[in-house]
Amino acid sequence: MTTKSIAVVTGGAGFIGSCLVRQVLRETDLQVVVLDKLTYAGNVESLADYDGDSRLEFIEGDICDPELVTSLLSKHQPMGIIHLAAESHVDRSIDGPAVFLQTNVQGTFNLLESCLAHWQDLDSSAADAFRFLHVSTDEVYGSLGAEGLFSESSPYQPSSPYSASKAASDHFVQAFHHTYGFPTLLTNCSNNYGPYQFPEKLIPLMVSNALKGEPLPVYGDGLNVRDWIYVRDHCRGLDAALHKGRAGEAYNFGGDAERTNLQIVKAILEQTGADAGLITFVEDRLGHDRRYAVDATKAKKELSWAPLVEFGEGLAETIAWYGENGAWLERIESGAYRV
């Protein structure tokens, strides 16, 4: 990632993508080209701190558009792709799986084809430096029992349309490396949380509702377990993978912070001072995986990475951010930021 110092970040106006872009612009001299379709969860306001910065170029567009992707690569000659663009909400994938197939599988395949052609035309030194970093999820591994952790060698057993679409995209990424020698990197992370997250995922939804005094809907018995990672820790891991990772390898990132959904909700109630009576148990999600947790040993050893933000600290920062940014929350919930 050195000769032209340009990286393309797909989905760079989303929750994790915008955090990564802000981090890169804050901490490096890298130039960033963001390609984002601006679906309901994408928001250019998440990049407002760098509005007018000459190192950031924003392109509204779809990764499923091969002509756009090819022209972008030709114009900017990036030395790396960080692929975060994805449909990512399990509930939405249950209600409408087709868009997950289109974006997560076809879109990733289109990027791989276009980037492979770009890479094959590079001179040897630029080709050696090029990386295609594909950001995935621990949900591709399926559901764990009461014990154990997912590792990079765990078999794939996706159980929702969302995780199936991400698993398929992961397999295409790995196949392009093994078949063509294309320099890919694959990362699978546990549940992210932090500022700027669209309020449909557990933590921002519960925080938003608690701050407004509205019911906090909890699936089933609330005892499903997830490992939580603060979004900045995840983005530090992506940066480490990009610069230190071995081409063709996969790396898991986790926060070492397993919690049941009910523990999360109770912690939010405690920190916001909201009434515990707001907890409302609702019918469980179809095919709801019971537990996820990842072993990040490989990333810690090979990338010299580790999560730095303790869960309680990260949750407090997240709650404070949503409390101070009610206007952002209202605008993204209503879609007013698109006007």
Active centre residues (catalytic): 138-139, 162
Beta bridge partners of 87: none
Residue 144: half-sphere exposure toward Cβ, Cα within 13 Å: 20
Q: Which residues contact 106 (CB under 8 A, 6 or more apart)?
A: 64
SS3 186: strand
Residue 290: closest CA among 139, 85, 163 = 139
Pairing label, strands 258-260, 225-230: antiparallel
Instruction: For tokens 């990772």, name the residue.
Output: 245
Q: Per the structure block, which two tokens stand in for 37? A: 């379709």
DSSP string, 216-271: EEEETTS--EEEEEEHHHHHHHHHHHHHHPPTT-EEEE--S-EEEHHHHHHHHHHH
Instruction: For tokens 């869960």, name the residue.
Output: 311
Determine the Cα–Cα distance for residues 251 and 133; give it in Å rounded to an integer: 11
Q: Which residues contact 161 (CB under 8 A, 6 or more apart)?
A: 93, 94, 97, 100, 101
Question: For 31, phi and psi rounded to 5 degrees?
Answer: -90, 140
Residue 235: closest CA among 72, 81, 59, 19 = 19
CA angle 19, 100, 138 (to 5 degrees): 55
SS3 189: strand
Residue 85: closest CA among 67, 103, 101 = 103
